[in-house]
Structure 1
Amino acid sequence: MTVLPDDGLSLAADFPAATRAQWQRLAAGVLSRSGKDVPADEAEAVLSTALEDGLRARPLYTAADGAPDPGFPGFAPFVRSARATGTTDGGWDVRQRHTTADAGAILTDLENGATSLWLAAGPGGIPLDALDGALRDVYLDLAPVVLDAGAETSAAAQELLALYDRRGVAPEAVRGNLGADPLGTEARTGAAYDGDGFASTVALARLAATYPELRALTVDALPYHEAGGSAAQELGASLATGVAYLRALTDGGLDVERALGQLEFRYAATADQFLTIAKLRAARRLWARVAEACGAPAAGAQLQHAVTSPVMMTARDPWVNMLRTTVATLAAGVGGAASVTVLPFDHALGLPDAFARRIARNTSTILVEESHLARVVDPAGGSWYVESLTDELARAAWDFFQETERAGGQARALRSGWTGERLAEVWAARSARLATRREPVTGVSEFPHLAEKPVVREPAPAAPGGGLPRVRRDEAFEALRARSDAHLAATGARPRVFLAALGPAAAHTARLSFAANLFQAGGVEPVTEGSFADSGAAEACLCSSDAVYAERAEAEAAALRAAGAGHVALAGRPGAYAGVDSYVFAGCDAVAVLSATLDRMGVS
């Protein structure tokens, strides 16, 4: 046994080892002082946080929280990384998305940090006959190109490959992905691929095989994420799609290793950094299991492209999106994504401007060049929490994958509506959390800024639709704010509510701030100074402590009604106060409350 030298850093060596039981007793004591008396062995459950997919984040993880051996980086099951070494030679591939034939913007991206291009082509993107012009200044032997052309994938691929040929790019220098994803296109548009099944996709795979570094197929999980699906559903749907493609490719004559080498997987990276890290690690483990079942375990290293989540992007206070995408990009890098696309902060508003594109590029650059994030393989590996979360998420995703297979596979699950129904169930539950602000959206449902000048962008090309819906976390509150904006444009003023502060500041400050925050989330301007008669408001809300309410609430409500208030609310838990019409409190359905408020005020 190796004996380490005494370096004087004994740390806790002189203290007795702590036990889980001791921690539980201490945690139960803290809970008791907060008014929750629970047995010590239940303290962890009380302090746990429920996640989607039946998962829970516990307050304490130790070496006893076992997970399967993740193996070594670059070796099956590839949990720790698809690569065996760090990427000190440049970090992950910075892949920026373009939907218009703006050759100047494309070149600017490549000259200032981007290392590959993700081009939306065909419907909702760059016209196929404009690809040459869009790429006129690009050295195609240096910058990989990834296509996203939906139903026009075959034509777009032929156009791109012809462009490589015209420019004399050697086959071994062609890199990227032709973007064939018929099931992803069906999920987006609802249009089933034609009667020849995957024949055109198999043909593209055969064609791509003549280019050693080019892949033909993308397994895009974003349609399921953007429809409101959970992390496990996103992973499970990607597995079912990938397996369907493997079947088609091997039936078309490709061997398993070549078929596996034609796939690239695209996942969403969210501001929930640990869930994103675990998702990418779990995805590699699951795909390695598929490859093992197919008899090619060594070829099961999943190539991953992470995209900062469109669902988390907000139209209001879009500057906060810079913070969201930074956290998401960090998580994608730590999680081991080979390529990362940072959506510009104004993504929800339309086409990004030059500043937004620059910030998007620099997000990766700072994390790679200044934070040196890419120099360490799987930096989260060994964390008891991350390893446990990876294992639990992998199991939940495998369950969803198996359910999809029992439903007839990804194609039948989509066409029967089964997939859409499952995603909708998850989104409905999440929408309830968003509406009650238990899942806050900074700048929208929390800390909104009504006086902020709107950010205006040129509209982006309409994305193909007709299939699974596209949702955003801010959509319910965005609808309320849009009603307020229309009222402001029509009348010159926003709807107002008078906040009646009762008692000393110590009694009313907390609930006054809460009520102001809540009403502004719906575009209702709070008035806290002067009298109700001078406020220009149609409604009022009482704000104070329970003790003050007991003494003054009913009298103050009567006075407000006499002054012309058509509706009197109270900031606090529901009680039996005469003259009070409604209550606003932490955990109330803010969307329902605000919608009803705007309805009463005649804000359409």
Structure 2
Amino acid sequence: MSDETADYAEWERLALGVLRKSGVTEDRPVRELLSTVDYSGVASAPLYTADDATPAAGLPGAQPFIRGASDTAGWDVRQRHADPDAKATREAILTDLENGVTSIWLAGIAPGDLAEVLDGVYLDLAPVVLDNGPDTEAAADAFLALPGEDKLGGFGADPLGWQARTGEPADLDLLRRLSGKHSDLRIATVDATVYHDAGASDAEELGFAAATGLAYLRALVDAGLSTGMALRRLEFRYAATADQFATIAKLRAARRIWARIAQVCDVPHLGAQLQHAVTSDAMMTARDPWVNMLRTTLACFGAGVGGAAAVTVQPFDARLGLPDGFARRIARNTQSLLIEEAGVGRVLDPAGGSWFAESLTDALAHAAWDVFTEVERAGGMAAALGSGLVADRIEATWQRRADNIAHRRDPITGVSEFPSLEERRPQRAPAPPPPTGGLPRRWYGQGFELLRDAAEAAGTPTVPLVTLGPAAAHSARASFAANLFAAGGIRTVHSGPEGVTDGVACICGSDRSYADEAAAVAGQLKRQGVAKVWLAGPPAAFDGVDAYLFAGCDALDVLRQTHQDLGVTAP
């Protein structure tokens, strides 16, 4: 290739050559062959150029608000508190506010405890966002009764979110009752994380959020507020994941959708969506929980770059129970580092102008708009929740995601990949149980982590790896098999065939050693009483071999079969 800059056609020719050498024979454009499609049905191309034009994104703080709801850089560092112990929560809040946190999110704190929990907090400086489900009105009254008039924050009313969580009918009249209690505090929070936690795609999360926001907008207008005032009384909460580019595009697309709704309502200049991004609960793991620090750092970066007005980083031990002081410190310092040291909060919409980011934003906005209009045609969000439309859509998405996780196409570090059976997890006090009865609460690693729990309860069972030939010939497949079995809490040991007399065994070697020895070794193991013989390698027809494990196999199915064969039962 010459020193001259290659054009797009030259790149296509070279890329196609590599694909042909790798065995790809499909007669499709290179761009299609190398594109990936996410759970929203949005395709990401391998290369973007100026030909990938998208609608004008405008300027930060200006309609259509794609580049940000404000022309001010940075974001609000918001910490979540859910410990029912009022004294412990108060101490944790004061520590947070003294060390970089700028607002507080109170989840499930009893209304009667708010005075003690917020004692010493300057409510005119540190916004407080309530999250009380059926106790929202009582919590709002208790909050308003605290000293001081110039309070900041919001009541956090989310009746449709509560319906999604519990299956109970939404009390939209709650918004009317709250609308007259205070002229400045935000009334409602559209919490779309309930859909994310159930397994929804980004487009579904955004579409359901837009439909919920529109329902709240109608309810507030019916209560006597102007459209502009009603728009200013809403806040939206989204999940931020370790896929930083998807998070950036999600927040930008959400603002574009809401700006369009405000435009239809004849108040386009008031369509700046106030966004609170929370690092995803579904992506968090209980196993190897320290890896969560890396996941939440990426998610926080995506949320900040994506233009969230407020960001909550979940402590790394959140799936283990109530976080301790160290975990909360790491969570808030993650944000401080990104804002102060990395300078992420100094630049407005740094992703703006990227052909990839703009194209992904545009495609996701269209996909989410389709979900939104489907819900509206079904009668609105309350009707869509009641009819099962929302649950059915999310279930279909979850099945696709679960299949990818099971086959480890969506790897989970420390859980489905590179697990450590020697880890000593920190112990935490139990967190209050979440509400149930509505959409399921899922986490991506649940299949593997539940198997790990069962294996530990059974005393960590062992599978012998029967290795063939020298280490150079079997080490790659033996390491692969050990890693896969460990993902289900099963320990492995290297062994010759002579010492294996029962249970389950896995043969590991090279293709040549398999051709020469696999059938004979499998037969020997069966004669010695081994009930199940696996072979680490692609499916073949070796006598005596019962099943195969290989890259791309259904790892969860392999582990469930092995648990069954070893007599491991769920605790």
* Residues 312-364 of structure 1 deviation map (CA, whole Å, 9 limit, x = unaligned): 00011100000000000000000000000011011111000111110001010
Are the counterparts in 1 of residues 497 and 521 from structure 2 also a CA contact under 8 Å?
no
How far apart are the structure 2 equivalents of 1:174 and 1:409?
A: 33
Are the counterparts in 2 of residues 222 and 268 from structure 1 also a CA contact under 8 Å?
yes
Shift in Å, 1:578: 0.2
Match of 1:94 among 77, 87, 108: 77
How far apart are the structure 1 equivalents of 2:283 and 2:500?
A: 36
Task: Determine the structure 2 residue equivalent to 1:148.
Answer: 131
Q: What code does the residue aligned with 1:586 have?
A: A
Are the counterparts in 1 of residues 467 and 496 from structure 2 also a CA contact under 8 Å?
no
Match of 1:46 among 27, 33, 38: 33
Shift in Å, 1:32: 2.0
Q: What code does the residue aligned with 1:127 have?
A: A
SS where residue 430 of structure 2 aligns? coil
Shift in Å, 1:500: 1.7
Task: Determine the structure 1 residue equivalent to 2:167.
Answer: 190
* Residues 559-598 of structure 1 deviation map (CA, whole Å, 9 limit, x = unaligned): 2223432211011111110010110111111111111111
How far apart are the structure 2 equivalents of 1:153 and 1:38?
A: 57
How far apart are the structure 2 equivalents of 1:340 and 1:204?
A: 25
Task: Determine the structure 2 residue equivalent to 1:366.
Answer: 337
Task: Determine the structure 2 residue equivalent to 1:594.
Answer: 559
Are the counterparts in 1 of residues 500 and 530 from structure 2 also a CA contact under 8 Å?
no
Equivalences for residues 385-400 of structure 1 within 5 A: 385-400=356-371
Equivalences for residues 249-268 of structure 1 within 5 A: 249-268=220-239
Task: Determine the structure 2 residue equivalent to 1:289.
Answer: 260
Task: Determine the structure 2 residue equivalent to 1:25.
Answer: 13
Are the counterparts in 1 of residues 110 and 139 from structure 2 also a CA contact under 8 Å?
no
Shift in Å, 1:69: 0.7
The answer to whether structure 1 residue 496 and structure 2 residue 462 are counterparts is yes
Match of 2:120 among 115, 137, 141: 137
How far apart are the structure 2 equivalents of 1:314 and 1:240?
A: 31
Are the counterparts in 2 of residues 511 and 571 from structure 1 also a CA contact under 8 Å?
yes
Task: Determine the structure 2 residue equivalent to 1:3.
Answer: none
SS where residue 265 of structure 1 aligns? strand
Deviating 4+ runs (over 3 angstroms): 14-17, 530-537
Shift in Å, 1:53: 1.6
* Residues 491-527 of structure 1 deviation map (CA, whole Å, 9 limit, x = unaligned): xxx2111112222333322211111110000111011
Task: Determine the structure 1 residue equivalent to 2:151.
Answer: 174
How far apart are the structure 1 equivalents of 2:377 and 2:295?
A: 37
The answer to whether structure 1 residue 199 and structure 2 residue 173 are counterparts is yes
Q: What code does the residue aligned with 1:108 have?
A: T
Shift in Å, 1:400: 0.2
SS where residue 256 of structure 2 aligns? helix
Q: What code does the residue aligned with 2:521 have?
A: E
Shift in Å, 1:22: 0.9
Equivalences for residues 192-271 of structure 1 within 5 A: 192-194=169-171, 198-209=172-183, 211=184, 214-271=185-242
The answer to whether structure 1 residue 561 and structure 2 residue 526 are counterparts is yes
SS where residue 207 of structure 1 aligns? coil
How far apart are the structure 1 equivalents of 2:13 and 2:100?
A: 52
Are the counterparts in 2 of residues 497 and 537 from structure 1 also a CA contact under 8 Å?
no
Match of 1:342 among 301, 308, 313: 313
Task: Determine the structure 2 residue equivalent to 1:466.
Answer: 437
Match of 1:571 among 532, 536, 540: 536
Instruction: Select between 366-375 and 537-546 the one with higher mean Cα deviation.
Output: 537-546
Corresponding residue pairs, total: 564
SS where residue 105 of structure 2 aligns? strand
The answer to whether structure 1 residue 113 and structure 2 residue 100 are counterparts is yes
Task: Determine the structure 2 residue equivalent to 1:580.
Answer: 545
- What stretches of structure 1 of length at least 5 have no aligned partner? 1-13, 489-493
SS where residue 95 of structure 1 aligns? strand
How far apart are the structure 2 equivalents of 1:451 and 1:521?
A: 12
Are the counterparts in 2 of residues 497 and 541 from structure 1 also a CA contact under 8 Å?
yes
SS where residue 14 of structure 2 aligns? helix
The answer to whether structure 1 residue 80 and structure 2 residue 67 are counterparts is yes
Shift in Å, 1:381: 0.8
Shift in Å, 1:534: 4.8
Instruction: Select between 240-249 and 447-456 the one with higher mean Cα deviation.
Output: 447-456
Equivalences for residues 507-546 of structure 1 within 5 A: 507-528=473-494, 530-532=495-497, 534=499, 538-546=503-511
Task: Determine the structure 2 residue equivalent to 1:426.
Answer: 397
- What stretches of structure 2 of length at least 5 have no aligned partner? none
How far apart are the structure 1 equivalents of 2:407 and 2:390?
A: 26
Shift in Å, 1:137: 2.1
Q: What code does the residue aligned with 1:344 have?
A: P
Shift in Å, 1:17: 4.7
Shift in Å, 1:85: 3.5
| TM-score, normalised relative to structure 2 | 0.96
How far apart are the structure 1 equivalents of 2:69 and 2:387?
A: 35
Are the counterparts in 2 of residues 500 and 540 from structure 1 also a CA contact under 8 Å?
yes
Are the counterparts in 2 of residues 496 and 537 from structure 1 also a CA contact under 8 Å?
no
Are the counterparts in 2 of residues 188 and 466 from structure 1 also a CA contact under 8 Å?
yes
Q: What code does the residue aligned with 1:93 have?
A: D
Task: Determine the structure 1 residue equivalent to 2:383.
Answer: 412
Task: Determine the structure 2 residue equivalent to 1:6.
Answer: none
How far apart are the structure 1 equivalents of 2:333 and 2:316?
A: 12
* Residues 430-449 of structure 1 deviation map (CA, whole Å, 9 limit, x = unaligned): 00111111101110000000
Q: What code does the residue aligned with 1:502 have?
A: L
How far apart are the structure 1 equivalents of 2:215 and 2:345?
A: 33
SS where residue 362 of structure 1 aligns? helix
SS where residue 70 of structure 1 aligns? coil
Over the matched positions of the two proteins, sequence identity in percent amounts to: 57
How far apart are the structure 1 equivalents of 2:256 and 2:337?
A: 29
How far apart are the structure 2 equivalents of 1:308 and 1:458?
A: 21
SS where residue 82 of structure 1 aligns? coil
How far apart are the structure 2 equivalents of 1:259 and 1:206?
A: 12
